[in-house]
């Protein structure tokens, strides 16, 4: 055993040392990867049609824009409709006014202002790096651009137009795309709290009502959809003009084109249909009402509708002499297809147990009234736009950071100016350039702010400050290769470990998107396994300093991920 002790010690000392020294870098990159998964997953889920617009999954006649319709919103109302741009189309309820207001205020503070702070912090950090790189490889920037980027001494609302003027008419940065990216980023940071607040809100819950013949409003939930009318129902021990209605679902409006309304809360009793014929005398009144739509369908499929067929028939255990039952079919779920029946919405009928109402009456008279409860949620369109903007911003910042990292590493530029250093650099440049511009012999101390600003803008054309380095402008093939090698994304872009990570990551990302779109459970296990491997590779690459260290870290992390994946899969399969 003593022969192997040094080898084991050598094999673990490197990884443990790397973890202590580079854990923050690894956590940062894992956070970046998870952030992109969150954004891509959000965009995919919102863009797909695999989720319901109905609040808490309850089918309601009140659409997300508070209009009444006998059709479910999922089928006949587009979430992309402009009428719902500022409507709360993705809501959570029921809530009291206090709860809804508290959630809305907390969202505005934590997500709106807090999100602006985080986005601004990341954006300024990366913009500083890029502007520094541009000052090295291209040339100077104006005093105002430098002050805005490194000192941030004025509101963005005033800084953005001045930056645009400097970029267009004075000193440009190294790339037009980068200038557009910086200006767009600053606009996004400025507008983010407003965007976060606009995409959320709270409103009263709406409930569908239909006036009866006397003009009294009745809850649409209390209505039942009529599927059949048996005009000679007394032949099967029921009343004449017997109404065969949908059993309905508690808390669900009786809408059209929704298959489950045919069974309603009676799905647990459908096992009784397995026996043929059914002894109707042995059924309770509740069971008979639950099964009647299916029994009439079974009879109509065998003998037809209208009562014109002069043949002997059987309605389950009841033997009927000619003619067949005189049955009129109204609207039926799409899964039911009877001969000689035109299944159109105009045939639909409803009853409130005292009277019947046709499609035209319900569709034109139905209204949505506010209730005492509230719902808080999102505008789908604004939420989708925000996710897309965050994704574009994240990709732009990652690309900008990567470019700046290459340039700064190549030039061995370690220290990015902070507030104190920027003050000294700006003061030094102003002193040098204003000293030659002042012809009166007076010092800047005795010159007014207006006069100094005028001289900077007119005589110095905004001034200029740069980090002189002609190396970039005269780059040879050898130096370009040096730039590529200097890139330390995690840690070298041409590293074999990184190449494997990219392949595994892209594969996992594609499976992740596919699983979100199709919602197939069998994709969960391979997706999580591959993504676990990708994260293990990422941790190994970012923390490991040698191939041995990376190998040990990768295997260790993978062994930790596999049990988690197995436990998750078993939980899903239950």
Q: Work out how many domains the chain is built from and give that number.
A: 2
Most confident of 107-111, 128-132, 218-222: 107-111
> Residues 6 or more apart from 349 whose CB is under 8 A from it?
225, 226, 330, 331, 356, 357, 358, 359
- CA torsion 107→110→113→116, rounded to 10°? -110
| Residue 206 belongs to a domain | no
| Residue 502 belongs to a domain | yes
| Residue 358 belongs to a domain | no
DSSP 462-518: T--B----TTTTT--HHHHHHHHHH--SSS-TT-HHHHHHHHHHHHHHHHHHHHHHH
Both tokens of 487, joined, read 């890139």
Orientation angle between helical segments 176-198 and 114-137, nearest 10 degrees:
180
What b/e sequence results for 466-502 when a residue is b if at least 16 CB atoms lie within 10 Å of its CB, and e otherwise?
Answer: bbebeebeeeeeeeeeeeeebbebbbeeebebbebbe
Mean residue pLDDT of the chain comes to 77
Calculate mean pLDDT across residues 199-223.
Answer: 89
| Residue 4 belongs to a domain | yes
Sign of CA dihedral 437, 440, 444, 447: negative
Pairwise CA distance, residues 574 & 572, whole Å = 6
pLDDT for 523 beyond 80: no
| Residue 322 belongs to a domain | yes
Q: Which residue has the higher pLDDT, 206 or 453?
A: 206
| Residue 523 belongs to a domain | yes
- For residue 449, the model assigns a pLDDT of 64
Tens digits of per-residue pLDDT, 332-352? 776 677 777 776 777 888 988
Pairwise CA distance, residues 541 & 551, whole Å = 9
- Pick the last residue of a domain from 320, 351, 382: 351
Calculate mean pLDDT across residues 217-230.
Answer: 89
Pairwise CA distance, residues 31 & 42, whole Å = 16
Which of 505, 573, 567 has the alpha carbon at shortest distance from 539?
A: 505
| Residue 326 belongs to a domain | yes
- The answer, as to whether pTM is greater than 0.85, is no
| Residue 131 belongs to a domain | no
User: pLDDT band for position 107 (50/70/90)?
Assistant: very high
pLDDT for 104 beyond 50: yes
pLDDT for 385 beyond 90: yes
User: pLDDT band for position 367 (50/70/90)?
Assistant: very high
Residue 262: which domain range? 224-351
DSSP 288-338: HHHHHHHHHHHHHHHH-STT---S-EEETTEEE-SS---EEE----TT---
- Pick the last residue of a domain from 351, 378, 397: 351
- For residue 248, the model assigns a pLDDT of 65
User: pLDDT band for position 257 (50/70/90)?
Assistant: low
- Pick the last residue of a domain from 351, 379, 404: 351
């Amino acid at each position: 055993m003593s022969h192997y002790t040094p080898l084991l010690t050598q094999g673990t000392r490197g990884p443990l040392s790397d973890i202590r020294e580079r854990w923050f870098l690894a956590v940062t990159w894992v956070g970046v990867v998870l952030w992109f998964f969150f954004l891509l997953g959000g965009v995919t889920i919102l863009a797909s049609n695999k989720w319901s617009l109905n609040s808490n999954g309850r089918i309601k006649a009140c659409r997300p824009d508070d209009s009444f319709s006998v059709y479910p919103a999922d089928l006949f109302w587009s979430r992309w409709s402009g009428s719902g741009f500022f409507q709360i189309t993705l809501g959570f309820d029921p809530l009291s006014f206090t709860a809804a207001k508290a959630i809305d205020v907390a969202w505005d503070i934590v997500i709106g202002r807090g999100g602006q702070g985080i986005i601004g912090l990341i954006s300024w950090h990366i913009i500083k790096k890029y502007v520094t790189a541009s000052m090295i490889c291209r040339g100077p920037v104006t005093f105002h651009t430098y002050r805005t980027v490194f000192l941030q001494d004025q509101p963005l609302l005033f800084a953005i137009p001045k930056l645009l003027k400097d970029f267009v008419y004075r000193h440009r940065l190294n790339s037009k795309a980068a200038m557009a990216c910086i200006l767009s980023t600053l606009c996004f940071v400025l507008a983010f709290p407003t965007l976060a607040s606009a995409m959320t809100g709270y409103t009263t819950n709406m409930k569908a009502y239909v006036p009866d013949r006397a003009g009294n409003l009745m809850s649409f939930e209390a209505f039942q959809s009529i599927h059949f009318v048996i005009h000679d129902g007394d032949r099967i021990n029921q009343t004449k003009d017997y109404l065969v209605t949908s059993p309905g679902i508690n808390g669900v409006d009786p809408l059209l084109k929704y298959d489950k309304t045919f069974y309603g809360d009676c799905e647990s009793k459908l096992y009784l249909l397995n026996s043929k014929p059914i002894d109707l005398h042995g059924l309770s009144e509740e069971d008979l009402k639950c099964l009647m739509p299916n029994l009439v369908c079974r009879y109509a499929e065998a003998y037809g509708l209208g009562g014109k067929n002069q043949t002997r028939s059987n309605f389950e255990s009841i033997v009927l002499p000619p003619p067949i039952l005189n049955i009129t079919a109204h609207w039926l779920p799409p899964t039911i297809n009877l001969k000689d029946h035109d299944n159109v919405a105009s045939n639909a009928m409803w009853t409130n147990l005292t009277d019947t109402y046709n499609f035209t009456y319900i569709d034109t008279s139905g209204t949505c009234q506010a209730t005492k409860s509230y719902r808080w949620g999102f505008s789908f369109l604004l939420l989708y736009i925000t996710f897309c903007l965050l994704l574009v911003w994240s990709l732009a910042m990652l690309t900008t950071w990567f470019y700046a990292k290459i340039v700064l590493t190549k030039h061995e530029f370690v220290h990015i100016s902070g507030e104190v250093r920027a003050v000294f650099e700006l003061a030094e440049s102003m002193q040098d350039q204003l000293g030659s511009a002042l012809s009166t012999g007076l010092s800047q101390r005795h010159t007014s702010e207006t006069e100094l600003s005028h001289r900077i803008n007119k005589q110095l054309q905004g001034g200029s400050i740069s980090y002189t380095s002609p190396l970039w402008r005269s780059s040879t093939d050898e130096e370009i290769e040096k730039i590529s090698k200097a890139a330390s994304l995690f840690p070298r872009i041409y590293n074999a470990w990184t190449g494997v990570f990219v392949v595994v990551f892209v594969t996992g990302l594609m499976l992740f998107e596919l699983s979100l779109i199709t919602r197939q459970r069998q994709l969960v296990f391979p997706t999580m396994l591959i993504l676990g491997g990708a994260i293990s590779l990422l941790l190994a690459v970012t923390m490991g300093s040698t191939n041995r260290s990376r190998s040990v870290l990768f295997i260790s992390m993978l062994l930790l991920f596999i049990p988690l994946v197995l436990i998750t899969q078993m939980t899903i399969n239950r």
